[in-house]
Structure 1
Amino acid sequence: MAKKVVVGMSGGVDSSVAAYLLKEQGYEVIGVTMQIWQDDAQENPDGCCGISAVDDARRVADALGIRYYVMNFKKEFRENVIDYFIREYKNGRTPNPCIACNRYVKWESLLQRSLEIGADYIATGHYARIVQLPNGRYAIKNSVTAAKDQTYALYNLTQDQLTRTLMPVGEFSKDEIREIAKKAGLPVAAKPDSQEICFVPDNNYAGFIERETGEKEKKGNFVDLDGNVLGEHQGISHYTIGQRKGLGISLGKRTFVTEIRTGTNEVVLGDNEDLFGKKVYANNINFMGIEDISDEIRGVAKIRYNHSGDTCRIKRIGEDEIEITFDKPQRAATPGQAAVIYSEDGIVLGGGTIFPLK
């Protein structure tokens, strides 16, 4: 009897090809799109789970001859992604909502519902691979294509989730995936990739937060590293570490956000060189390829999605805290973003959320 797999279908080419590949491999494939929009007015026409995504995913399912459903995850998405996103920005941090969505919606909630309908696995169109290591643990490994690698956003998955997950797209490049879709006659073969955070299609994060909370953000002071007032900012959720454009202040030189102080509602401005440092601290740790860190280890760490990663030493400094010391200074380690640790051969060892150690 064929193993049953639920494929999270976003209406894009990657998840569509994932469904096709798994069907070709002999699985009983069921397509599911997660309904996450809180109301139709929010729907992003280019987003991964909006109304147009449902239409595209349904057409793909019809072409493949597989069952297809839309499952309502509005509550889970609101609590674990939108509320988290707003809370982090209001606390002066810069969140990565895709990581939260992956762990708590695409995996935790979708996996549970899939098991309830008799599925053996869930699958996605992520550019990543799942491997079982000699130590018995399961881990995410870099995809074959560095250009589309999505392992950074998957570091927070649990061992149980990984044992029940398939990621067939990780063995291919994007061009190969589009070619497979074309040859298979899938109607989304040429569909462009979505870029923005799906629930903020205009990229105006501060405006989204004001609309969602109904609260006008409190203005405060721009200050320099010594605390001297330089001007007025529009509210801390408008800013992130390393930002230069859109500050609304001219100091006669290139100026960057170097710190956000929620206690005093201040945004600190400085020079580019003020953004560099070797040490990064992370908490809310999830170990993946290793069970724990007892002694200091070496690895490669990424501190943002598009960071190429750099060599470092990692050690535990608390019950749920690690210290990462890079061999070379890194620019703009940002509280709220993830620090993800890899082995030299691209295995995700674990990661956590960056926080400032004062």
Structure 2
Amino acid sequence: MKRVVVGLSGGVDSSVAAYLLKEQGYEVIGLFMKNWHDDSVTISDECPWLEDSNDALIVADKLGIPFQTVDLSAQYKERIVDYMFNEYERGRTPNPDVLCNREIKFDVFMKIALDLGADFVATGHYCRKGTITKDGKEVYQLLSGADNNKDQSYFLCQLSQEQLSKTLFPIGELTKPEVREIATRENLVTADKKDSQGLCFIGKVRLPDFLQQKLRPKEGVIVEIPETRPYFHAKAPKFNSKVEELAHFSKKYSYTVSEGKVVGKHQGAHYFTKGQRKGLAVGGTAEPLFVIDTDVDENVIYTGQGKGHPGLYRRTLFVTNDELHWVREDLALPIDGTMEVMARIRYRQPLQKATLYKVDGGLYVDFEQPQSAITEGQFVAWYLEDELVGSGVIS
């Protein structure tokens, strides 16, 4: 009997994952991760982790599996929260969920599980794992979940072969309604529980409120850049090489206050992200304003009218070598190598046609269609059919 440690979060997905593993004859242990009790960054009066750990305990009891809570709040603070503050301060927009999987669930948590003698770690993610043999060696694949509406492979885009080799995704072949059906049939207390929103493991939090605990408010101006600016309509120059062309299209526009008009005030450029519409509190424009760029050094937010504003769109993005990751190391591109892929720059975005170009300093991702709100600090992930083969942080 192989031993599996399940990350029981107190939600329906991990509850059903534990149930299925038990049905399949594994020896199952439930582990709840407590990742937060830093009152200096208090997040609303609701204390989701107490309720969640209680639900996880009730589920474990019902399934007749051992259960314990591990406190990972020190590692979570250091690896996720401090990183987030640091990224926002730099004017980048991190994705805590991707990091949380890489740094906490499949690293710190996995080590604890293996110390408990586990053969595998399992989570309630909607994705699948494949195994192929290549040159006599087992290679693990990260495949998208069978439920297109819920596919969570993007959040696992930073996993390694080593991590995948010890991971199981029991609900990857199921749809969300099927998972709820099983939970209802088995009388699991989490059957009708709503999906958790907000930061991975911290629960409900309004990001600006959260960030204000560490990043002090600082008044600055909101500037509207008209789409008639000449650089939005300039013809592309002649290029001597593909790399020159990619460098040109991956460069973002840089704005100055004098190019637009001041339309409002804000409380800190680091609270805003590209493509954001809510929270600007500026009225009186024909179309809603969207953030097209933020300048944290000068504390200025640049905006444009309407979601078709040219300042929102770019065709190409760049990932530096040190932020480039191949889930399938055997497919990593050599310098000057190219690959046709499907890619996405955010969770739930429909996959887009793109070509990867490997150069000395990193990797260009060149999309067939210009993409809206390519945001520094977020992750781009690329797929071959339904397999996620690599990812990187947008620089």
Task: Give me the TM-score of the superposition, normalised by structure 2.
Answer: 0.83
Q: Structure 2 vs 1, CA of residues 201 and 69 (structure 1 numbering), >3 Å: closer, same or farther?
A: closer
| CA distance in structure 1 between the partners assigned to 2:280 and 2:150 by the alignment | 31
Alignment counterpart, residue 339 of structure 1, candidates 373, 380, 385: 380
Distance in structure 2 (CA, Å) of the matches to 1:91 and 1:108: 26
Does the 8 A contact of 1:93 with 1:334 survive in 2?
yes
Aligned with 1:169: secondary structure? coil
The one-letter code matched in structure 1 to 2:167 is T
Asked if structure 1 preserves the Cα contact closer than 8 Å seen for 2:44 and 2:205, the reply is no
Report if aligned partners of 1:46, 1:194 keep a CA contact under 8 Å in 2.
no
Match of 2:209 in 1: 207
Comparing 194-203 and 8-17, the one that deviates more: 194-203
Does residue 278 (structure 1) correspond to residue 290 (structure 2)? The answer is no
**1:354 has 2:387 as partner:** no
- What is residue 140 of structure 1 aligned with on the other side? 142
The one-letter code of the counterpart of 2:378 is Q
Q: 1:275, CA displacement in angstroms?
A: 0.7
RMSD between aligned residues: 1.9
In the alignment, the residues of structure 2 paired with residue 105 and residue 43 of structure 1 have an alpha-carbon distance, to the nearest angstrom, of 23
DSSP 3-state at the match of 1:125? coil
Deviation at 1:238, TM superposition (A): 2.3
Q: CA deviation at 1:313?
A: 0.2
Determine if contact 2:101/2:155 at 8 Å carries over to the other structure. Answer: yes
State the alpha-carbon separation in 2 of the partners of residues 313 and 280 from structure 1: 11
The DSSP-based 3-state class of the residue aligned with 1:217 is coil
Mean Cα deviation higher: 77-86 or 247-256: 247-256
Aligned to 2:19: 20
Identity of aligned residues (%): 37
1:313 paired residue number: 355
Deviations 1:188-208 (A, max 9, x none): 111111122256655422221
Which structure has the larger Rg? 2
2:278 is the counterpart of 1:267 = no
8 Å CA contact 2:44–2:204 kept in 1: the answer is no
**1:323-334 equivalences in 2 (<5 Å):** 323-334=364-375
Partner Cα separation in structure 1 for residue 68 and residue 279 of structure 2: 42
Indicate if the aligned counterparts of 2:43 and 2:210 stay in contact, CA closer than 8 A.
Answer: no
Other-structure match for 1:74: 73
Matches of 1:307 and 1:169, distance apart in 2: 22
The verdict on how the C-alpha distance between 1:329 and 1:134 changes in structure 2, with shifts beyond 3 A counting, is farther
Superposed displacement of residue 216, structure 1? 2.2
- Distance, in Å, in 1 between the alignment partners of 2:84 and 2:369 is 31
CA contact (8 A) 2:317 2:394 kept: yes
**Matched residue SS, 1:304:** coil
Q: TM-score, normalised by structure 1?
A: 0.92
Structure 2 regions of 5+ residues with no counterpart?
Answer: 226-254
C-alpha change, 1:29 and 1:199, in structure 2 (3 Å) is: closer
Question: Residue by residue, what CA displacement relative to the aligned partner does 1:250-271 show, whole Å, maximum 9, x if unpaired?
Answer: 4623322111122322222224
Q: Aligned to 2:280, which of 239, 242, 247? A: 247
How far did 1:226 drift? 4.7
Structure 1: how far apart are the matches of 2:25 and 2:125? 20
Aligned residues: 348
After TM superposition, the structure 1 stretch with the greater mean CA deviation from structure 2, 82-91 or 50-59, is: 82-91
